[in-house]
Structure 1
Amino acid sequence: MAAVTDLTRDLAAIPSHDDETDAGDFIEAWLREETDADVTRDGVGNVIARRNTNPDANESVALVGHHDVVPPDESQIANGEYVVEERDGRLYGRGAADMKGAVAAAMCAFRDTDPTVELVFASFVGEEIGGEGARHAIDEGFSPDYAIVGEGTTGYSAPGTTDVAVAHKGRRASTITAHGTAAHASEPEAGENAVYTACKAVEMVCEIDAPSTDVFGERVRGSVVVTEIEGGSAWNVIPESCSITVDERTIPGERAPLAAVEDSGRVEWTVDQDLPPMACDDEAFAEAVRAAAADAQEGEPELVTKPHATDAGWLAEAGVTCVICGPAEQGEAHTKDESVSLAVLDRCYETYRGAVESIGR
């Protein structure tokens, strides 16, 4: 569909890694010109639009994306502008896959769909830095009954197939800090070595069995990994402090018992970031989206899980029933060769339309 391709190209050309304002301006102006929706721009820059808001529409479905991107590679920017190229049926450029292509497909589907439910479009800011836009919108009352989040699900069950994710992991980043007493290294017994204490904490982390769970028959497994260790001030000083960074991939409903490493006065544990996991709580909704995805492609999509945290985690935590379905393929996002298939963009447009139109009928 030329409209989706053109819109993706226009969006992907707008720099939005430091400041999402211009991309938000473009989305807002397009929605006001192309639709009769109630379009709003909130205090942080989220663009939210609503159609079919009459009282008979007793359910609401949202098509959700984000228009911020990670910083571009040097090859993806020229004269302060993003470089966007089309070749071999793909569109190349920062944000093409993550996730301006999905936003464009959702915008066109939002315009073209004839819903019986209230239809919501939302493009958030700050997804790449912890979901700041989604969290603000939720705090301000954003709470559709259902949401299709357009993060990438292509190529999970089979190459080229666009699947429907019913769960994803979250991420809890934390720091374990061991405290000791400094002394000259020639008299180690005069101090307490914080590195040794930290190593005992690392052993405890290694012994933790990360939890796992099932979502509609799909297994989601968490993980707990020590990723950094830092301590000491000089080669001849017993270290009085040592810190350990832990990357934990969380699952819906359970967390690893990291607090067990704490030891009053000697070891403390602090959480630095906690991005929530997501699990769909309505199998009928997930199957409706999967059926729409099946109608839009030759392959047979499956219900799958994603390893990465998305804004769907914040929405699910707030009580929104979510699935994820989008054009980006595994390994495409955040790369210097980031690209998106134009054919899969059209597929996602058809999937979004089909899913929305099937709900409430």
Structure 2
Amino acid sequence: MTVRELTQALVSIPSHEDETAAGDYIETWLRRETDADVTRDAVGNVIARKGTGGETLALVGHHDVVEPAPSQVNSGVGGDLEYVVEHRDGRLYGRGTADMKGAVAAAMLAFRDSKLQSSGPSQSASTGELVFASFVGEEIGGVGAQHAIEHGFAPEYAIVGEGSTGYSSPGVTDVAVAHKGRRGSTITADGTAAHASEVGAGENAIYRATAAVDRIRELEVPSIEVAGDQLEGSLVVTEIDGGSAMNVVPDRCELTVDERTVAGKRAPLEHVAALEGVHWTVDQDLPPMRCTDEAFAKTVLEAANAVQPGSPDLVTKPHATDAGWLSEAGTECVIYGAAEPGEAHTESESVSIDVLKRCRDTYRRVAESWLQ
């Protein structure tokens, strides 16, 4: 089975509401095509392992997708829903081709085909363990990755197959060594309601909220230097909701804040919570990622350079991925995948078949060179 055929098979399986069928396909394929130890955990993550001893390298992806557009679905045999997959002009089109079932297919093939070297007098023990992992729930905050980590998933190294193509130059698949995280917060300002004709009888929650906005705008946004560039976070108020009527001094006002974080640093939002009547709640905190092992990053970059005509580079990504959860847990991660900027989550989502082959070959080269 080619990477195109495997990608088409995976993409055709709906997995935006329930990943079970896609996970079934991946598990069945791994059991049929490999002699690896294949497991399916309580939330639906599919994990396969081969080799023993030494360090562990994981090829990581996810098989859930965001909801498809109407043009990306049709009724299959018996009226069951299927995703539309089209092959034209050297690309596959369909929900999940870029994000990220194409990279999952490439990792499955690389996992199957990688020949791990052996060590010791009997040559019976390999010098490292290769792991394939496809998680559920990446699109809803990384619930699958978190579950796996909580239950002992702890590779020393990982290549996460999210998109890294077209960052340094068009068509080149780069190696991302860092990405931003996302912290989403709610700032709540409490006051005391009063009739608007008696302003002094109340405490205006909107005024307290606007003071919070002013404080947020004064905060320094953190940044770090990675791969010769400054990776900068951001902080922005995105919503405001307060008041109940034109003639009532409001007793409550809420703000939502979107913060893009960088490894090791956060904006000091606790300074906002120090204001009178203002409270701060973190609603979501997707961790950033940064690879600190230069030798590992260089190994992946050399493998990537060997399989493509362009010259890949070490780059950074703006988007949070499951690599953040792995990095937070102690895994050295890089991101290397076929998706290009602007492809994921779109009605015209697509992926280059040649780049999928490139990913398959890179994953295999890294596995066979790093685990030795």
TM class, shorter-chain normalised? over 0.9
Q: Does 1:70 align with 2:66?
A: yes
1:359 and 1:187 mapped to 2: Cα distance? 73
**Residue correspondence of structure 1 range 79-94 to structure 2 within 5 A:** 79=75, 80-94=81-95
Residue range with higher mean Cα deviation, 339-348 or 216-225: 216-225
**Residue correspondence of structure 1 range 143-182 to structure 2 within 5 A:** 143-182=154-193
1:32 and 1:292 mapped to 2: Cα distance? 28
Name 1:251's counterpart in structure 2.
262
Cα distance, 1:264 vs structure 2? 6.5
Cα distance, 1:216 vs structure 2? 3.9
CA displacement 1:192-217 (0-9 Å, x = unmatched):
11111101110111111210012343
8 Å contact from structure 2 (residues 94, 349) kept in 1 = yes
**Residue correspondence of structure 1 range 33-44 to structure 2 within 5 A:** 33-44=32-43
Q: Does 1:354 align with 2:354?
A: no
Q: Select which of 267, 276, 293 maps to 2:278.
A: 267
Name 1:31's counterpart in structure 2.
30
8 Å contact from structure 2 (residues 212, 275) kept in 1 = no
Name 2:100's counterpart in structure 1.
99
Q: Select which of 284, 302, 310 maps to 1:291.
A: 302
Name 1:326's counterpart in structure 2.
337
2:102 and 2:42 mapped to 1: Cα distance? 25
1:36 and 1:261 mapped to 2: Cα distance? 55
8 Å contact from structure 2 (residues 129, 371) kept in 1 = no
SS in 2 for 1:69: coil
1:350 and 1:179 mapped to 2: Cα distance? 57
Name 1:339's counterpart in structure 2.
350
8 Å contact from structure 1 (residues 218, 303) kept in 2 = no
SS in 1 for 2:354: helix
Cα distance, 1:186 vs structure 2? 1.9
8 Å contact from structure 1 (residues 215, 280) kept in 2 = no
CA displacement 1:301-336 (0-9 Å, x = unmatched):
000000000000000111111000000000100011
Cα distance, 1:60 vs structure 2? 1.0
SS in 2 for 1:102: helix
2:138 and 2:12 mapped to 1: Cα distance? 19
8 Å contact from structure 1 (residues 150, 324) kept in 2 = yes
**Number of aligned pairs?**
357
Cα distance, 1:171 vs structure 2? 0.3
Q: Select which of 297, 300, 304 maps to 2:315.
A: 304
Q: Does 1:51 align with 2:47?
A: no
SS in 2 for 1:158: coil
CA displacement 1:74-131 (0-9 Å, x = unmatched):
1111122111111111101110100000000000000111123211000000000111
Cα distance, 1:265 vs structure 2? 5.5
For structure 2, which runs of at least 5 residues remain unmatched after alignment? 76-80, 118-127
1:265 and 1:160 mapped to 2: Cα distance? 53
Cα distance, 1:190 vs structure 2? 1.6
Cα distance, 1:354 vs structure 2? 1.0
CA displacement 1:274-296 (0-9 Å, x = unmatched):
00000002011001001111011
Cα distance, 1:236 vs structure 2? 1.4
For structure 1, which runs of at least 5 residues remain unmatched after alignment? none
1:63 and 1:144 mapped to 2: Cα distance? 10
The TM-score normalised by the length of structure 2 is 0.94
8 Å contact from structure 1 (residues 70, 334) kept in 2 = yes
1:98 and 1:150 mapped to 2: Cα distance? 9
SS in 1 for 2:189: strand
2:203 and 2:155 mapped to 1: Cα distance? 55
Name 1:6's counterpart in structure 2.
5
2:25 and 2:229 mapped to 1: Cα distance? 38
SS in 1 for 2:158: strand
CA displacement 1:41-69 (0-9 Å, x = unmatched):
0111000000112xxx3111100000000
Please list every run of at least 4 consecutive aligned residues from structure 1 whose deviation after the TM superposition is greater than 2 angstroms: 215-219
8 Å contact from structure 1 (residues 155, 162) kept in 2 = yes
Q: Does 1:127 align with 2:126?
A: no
SS in 1 for 2:2: helix
SS in 1 for 2:283: strand
Q: Does 1:195 align with 2:195?
A: no
1:10 and 1:106 mapped to 2: Cα distance? 15
2:91 and 2:248 mapped to 1: Cα distance? 57
